[in-house]
């Protein structure tokens, strides 16, 4: 007997509702015309794009790197890449040329898709790296990708895939050195999506408000797969807008967002019990949800946000319960400040630095195992080895504990990482750029509390002897090199950085010193 097709798209396609003319996606950006796409449109458009990719005669496992503004067509390109059996490589639109150059050189994509306005510099980088095909795709349904796909057939047989075949590469930075590409398989993504469909109680009639970017796990996998696997309609926003999301709520049932989105909606007087009367579930993740936000949301709307925890390397790992969880004595409470229980199929343990398992309630490094955990980093076997224990558990770099009721709490990170508005900023990367600037001896980037983004980066810089580097000039210089969310929100030039007896910079002291800058 032949094995069933493990292509993730095959599972998503099988979940399309019987009525293919029903609305699958409705755009909802304020001030823009409303566009609707039926399930038939999704099927036909992904077939045409998949046929275009197939016509390029790409090698097996070819990477399709995509840096475009969020649009329904960009989402269809992701689905078409799965459908054609290639590997999707999404890139944040904020990345600038030095960042893109690294990703393209490292991943060696066969196809690069970018916005027409960036074609000049992106194609130069891509052609230099040996990429043969560069297409454009704009958020107004124009560009060479769609022009070429328009000539392709709308019939396409979904490419045959095995569970371990790679579906996507998501770049995630390391504590030292450059970004690593986490290789996620069809099996990783489908097992996670299918389990979440069940755990979060997706049901007929659910409607998702999709307001997250689609170049990271949260928007691309958790939200999108959730809706598609349930055959659910999506309201589609190219950019998050708190007023627009609140106005959509009476016609929707599910919303997912990073904490900043909840903070911004709470600032809107229109957010009240009447606005959320039809909503079934609010989910938060990607960064810690402050207990104040959790409580205020409960008071204003009567809804308890369900917080969950995941990573690019693993998709979702833990979640507060949606309903009574029989594995944990039927507990159903969504507890603020915790990230809930390990998801079904996911094993989680807490270890100390010596690799000893820690008892309930004790704080240590969180390690995980499960069908969702990635195979490794693209072309970095050594890095992959470092991140796994000898007995095969993935070291998350998050520090936490499991309480006697089974709830997991994240208390910190052993990795030097700042999460700002749901985006990751790796201090080592930013410090590297600052240290190269004229007049700079060394620098330290620390995360401090911020009312909107949760946490933001602040740079502390020392001058070279005789030099007087200017804080504003440092920020301005970084802006021309790095994605905007990575730019420190403030910069200080000081005589020296605090160090411990081992000579290591004491970032905790700097963090403490600047903790009230924005609050």
Spell out where 370-463 has E strands. Answer: 376-377, 394-402, 408-413, 418-420, 423-425, 440-450, 454-463
For residue 447, list its beta bridge partners: 457
Task: Give how far Cα 476 sits from Cα of 7, 243, 435, 446, 450, Å.
Answer: 45, 32, 14, 19, 21
CA distance 336 to 430: 32
| 479-498 footprint of ligand MCA as x/- string (CB under 6 A) | -----xx-------------
Looking at beta carbons, which residue is closest to ligand MCA?
421
CA distance 312 to 417: 14
| 93 lines the binding site for ligand AMP (CB under 6 A) | no
**Could you tell me the two tokens for 87?**
């590997």
Give the residue with the Cβ less far from ligand AMP, 290 or 358: 290
Phi, psi (5° rounding) for residue 289? -90, 120
Give the residue with the Cβ less far from ligand MCA, 69 or 296: 69
Binders in 339-358 for ligand AMP, by CB under 6 A: 339
C-beta of residue 46 within 8 angstroms of C-beta of residue 79: yes
User: In this chain, which of 13, 44, 70, 216 binds ligand MCA, going by CB under 6 A?
Assistant: 216
Phi, psi (5° rounding) for residue 228? -65, -40
**Tokens 């999704």 label which residue?**
42
| 462 lines the binding site for ligand AMP (CB under 6 A) | no
Residues whose CB is less than 8 angstroms from the CB of residue 390 and which lie 6 or more positions away in sequence, other chains included: none
Q: Which does 288 bind (CB under 5 to 8 A by kind): ligand AMP, ligand MCA, none?
A: ligand AMP
- Shortest separation between residue 220's beta carbon and ligand MCA, angstroms: 8
C-beta of residue 111 within 8 angstroms of C-beta of residue 135: yes
Binders in 442-481 for ligand MCA, by CB under 6 A: 453, 456
Task: Give how far Cα 87 sits from Cα of 165, 184, 376, 434, Å.
Answer: 9, 9, 15, 34
Binders in 249-288 for ligand MCA, by CB under 6 A: 258, 260, 285-286
Q: Which does 398 bind (CB under 5 to 8 A by kind): ligand MCA, ligand AMP, none?
A: ligand AMP
| 288 lines the binding site for ligand AMP (CB under 6 A) | yes
Stretch of 52-60, 78-86, 214-222, 461-469 contacting ligand MCA, by CB under 6 A = 214-222
Closest CA to 311 of 171, 209, 447: 171
Q: How many CB atoms neighbour CB 438 within 10 A?
A: 10
- Shortest separation between residue 299's beta carbon and ligand AMP, angstroms: 21
CA distance 151 to 282: 41
Q: How many CB atoms neighbour CB 357 within 10 A?
A: 11
Size of the site for ligand AMP (CB under 6 A): 20
| 286 lines the binding site for ligand AMP (CB under 6 A) | yes
User: In this chain, which of 125, 145, 287, 478 binds ligand AMP, going by CB under 6 A?
Assistant: 287
- Shortest separation between residue 489's beta carbon and ligand MCA, angstroms: 7
CA distance 286 to 217: 9
Size of the site for ligand MCA (CB under 6 A): 23
| 239 lines the binding site for ligand MCA (CB under 6 A) | yes
| 99-128 footprint of ligand AMP as x/- string (CB under 6 A) | ------------------------------
Sign of CA dihedral 268, 272, 275, 278: positive
Stretch of 45-53, 306-314, 378-386, 429-437 contacting ligand MCA, by CB under 6 A = 306-314
| 393-432 footprint of ligand AMP as x/- string (CB under 6 A) | ---xxx-----------x--x-----x----x--------
CA distance 254 to 203: 11
Q: Which does 485 bind (CB under 5 to 8 A by kind): ligand MCA, ligand AMP, none?
A: ligand MCA
| 183 lines the binding site for ligand MCA (CB under 6 A) | no
- Shortest separation between residue 135's beta carbon and ligand AMP, angstroms: 27
Residues whose CB is less than 8 angstroms from the CB of residue 431 and which lie 6 or more positions away in sequence, other chains included: 442, 443, 444, 445, 459
| Entry field: residues in the chain | 519
Stretch of 39-47, 303-311, 329-337, 471-479 contacting ligand AMP, by CB under 6 A = 303-311
| 421 lines the binding site for ligand MCA (CB under 6 A) | yes
Residues whose CB is less than 8 angstroms from the CB of residue 146 and which lie 6 or more positions away in sequence, other chains included: 73, 137
C-beta of residue 423 within 8 angstroms of C-beta of residue 447: no
Q: Which does 230 bind (CB under 5 to 8 A by kind): ligand MCA, ligand AMP, none?
A: none
Stretch of 20-28, 119-127, 191-199, 284-292 contacting ligand AMP, by CB under 6 A = 284-292
Give the residue with the Cβ less far from ligand MCA, 239 or 405: 239
Residues whose CB is less than 8 angstroms from the CB of residue 283 and which lie 6 or more positions away in sequence, other chains included: 200, 222, 254, 255, 256, 257, 305, 306, 307, 308
| 311 lines the binding site for ligand AMP (CB under 6 A) | yes
Q: Give me the helices (H) in 388-447, please.
A: 427-435
| 181-220 footprint of ligand AMP as x/- string (CB under 6 A) | -----------------------------------xx---
| 320 lines the binding site for ligand MCA (CB under 6 A) | no
Chain contacts with ligand AMP (rule: CB under 6 A)? 172, 216-217, 285-288, 307, 309-312, 339, 396-398, 410, 413, 419, 424
Residues that bind ligand MCA (CB under 6 A): 212-213, 216-219, 239-240, 258, 260, 285-286, 310-312, 420-423, 453, 456, 484-485
């Amino acid at each position: 007997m032949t094995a069933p097709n493990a292509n993730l798209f095959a599972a998503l396609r099988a979940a399309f509702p019987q009525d293919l003319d029903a609305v699958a996606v409705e755009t909802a950006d304020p001030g823009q015309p409303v566009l609707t796409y039926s399930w038939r449109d999704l099927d036909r458009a992904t077939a045409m794009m998949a046929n275009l990719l197939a016509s390029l005669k790409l090698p097996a496992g070819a990477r399709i790197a995509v840096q475009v503004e969020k649009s329904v067509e960009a989402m269809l390109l992701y689905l078409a890449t799965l459908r054609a059996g290639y590997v999707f490589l999404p890139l944040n639109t904020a990345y600038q040329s030095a960042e893109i150059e690294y990703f393209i050189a490292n991943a060696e994509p066969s196809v690069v898709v970018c916005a027409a306005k960036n074609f000049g510099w992106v194609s130069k980088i891509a052609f230099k790296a040996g990429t043969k095909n560069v297409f454009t795709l704009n958020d107004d349904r124009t560009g060479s990708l769609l022009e070429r796909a328009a000539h392709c057939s709308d019939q396409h047989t979904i490419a045959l895939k095995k569970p371990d075949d790679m579906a996507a590469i998501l770049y995630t930075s390391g504590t030292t050195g450059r970004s690593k590409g986490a290789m996620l398989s069809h099996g990783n993504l489908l097992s996670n999506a299918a389990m979440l469909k069940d755990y979060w109680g997706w049901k007929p009639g659910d409607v998702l408000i999709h307001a997250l970017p689609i170049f990271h796990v949260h928007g691309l996998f958790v939200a999108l797969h959730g809706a598609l696997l349930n055959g659910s309609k999506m309201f589609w926003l190219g950019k998050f807008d708190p007023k627009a999301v609140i106005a959509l709520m009476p016609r929707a049932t599910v919303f997912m967002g990073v904490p900043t989105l909840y903070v911004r909606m709470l600032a809107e007087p229109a957010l009240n019990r009447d606005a959320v009367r039809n909503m079934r579930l609010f989910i938060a993740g990607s960064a810690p949800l402050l207990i104040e936000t959790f409580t205020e949301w409960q008071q204003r709307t009567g809804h308890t946000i369900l917080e969950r925890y995941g990573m690019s390397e693993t998709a979702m790992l833990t979640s507060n319960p949606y309903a009574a969880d029989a594995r944990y004595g039927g507990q159903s409470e969504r507890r603020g400040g915790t990230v809930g229980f390990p998801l079904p199929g996911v094993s989680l343990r807490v270890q100390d630095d010596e690799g000893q398992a820690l008892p309930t309630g004790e704080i240590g490094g969180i390690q995980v195992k499960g069908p969702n955990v990635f195979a490794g980093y693209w072309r970095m076997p050594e890095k992959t080895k470092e991140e796994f224990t000898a007995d095969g558990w993935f070291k998350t770099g998050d520090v936490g504990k499991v309480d006697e009721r089974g709830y997991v709490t994240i208390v910190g990170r052993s990795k030097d990482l700042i999460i700002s508005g749901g985006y990751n900023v790796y201090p080592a990367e930013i410090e590297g750029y600052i240290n190269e600037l004229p007049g700079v001896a060394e620098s330290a980037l620390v995360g401090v509390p911020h009312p909107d983004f949760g946490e933001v980066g602040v740079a502390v810089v020392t001058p070279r002897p005789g030099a007087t580097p200017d804080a504003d000039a440092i920020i301005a210089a970084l802006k021309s090199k790095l994605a905007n969310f990575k730019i420190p929100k403030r910069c200080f030039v000081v005589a020296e950085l605090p160090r411990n007896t081992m000579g290591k910079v004491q970032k905790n002291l700097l963090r403490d010193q600047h903790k009230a800058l924005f609050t």
